[in-house]
């Protein structure tokens, strides 16, 4: 997993776009654009009032997990079958 520091909303949106364009999708018998990867976008924010030593900290986690697949129902074979097994295993551990 890669981590990037952003100072502006525009920087964060650019990294989100880069991550989205690098996601892997494949056509399966049940879905033309089946996501073959997970995406986790974590936003950590800090704020403080001018002249104050008190900081407010918040964290937001946006998670898009690739879907669990019943291999027998989707009919995938070969590489897609191996990917589906790994996706299901990854979801199990998450």
In this structure, what token pair is assigned to residue 79? 């590489």
pTM for the model: 0.57
**Cα-based angle 85, 62, 8 (whole degrees, multiple of 5):** 135
**Over its length of 94 residues, how does the chain's per-residue pLDDT go in tens digits?**
677 788 888 998 998 888 888 877 777 776 777 676 777 888 888 899 999 999 999 999 988 777 666 777 777 778 878 877 887 787 777 7
pLDDT in tens, 73-89: 777 778 878 877 887 78
Q: Check if the beta carbon of residue 2 is closer than 8 Å to that of residue 54.
A: no
* Mean per-residue pLDDT of the chain: 81
Concatenate the DSSP letters of all residues of 15-26 into one string: HHHHHHHT--EE
């Amino acid at each position: 997993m890669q981590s990037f520091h952003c100072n502006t909303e525009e920087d964060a949106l650019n990294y989100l776009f880069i991550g989205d364009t690098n996601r892997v999708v494949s056509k399966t018998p049940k879905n033309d654009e089946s996501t073959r990867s997970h995406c986790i976008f974590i936003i950590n924010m800090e704020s403080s009032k001018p002249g104050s030593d008190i900081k407010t900290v918040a964290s937001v986690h946006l998670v898009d997990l690739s879907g669990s697949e019943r291999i027998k129902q989707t009919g995938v074979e070969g590489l897609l079958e191996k990917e589906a097994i790994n996706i299901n295993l990854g979801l199990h551990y998450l």
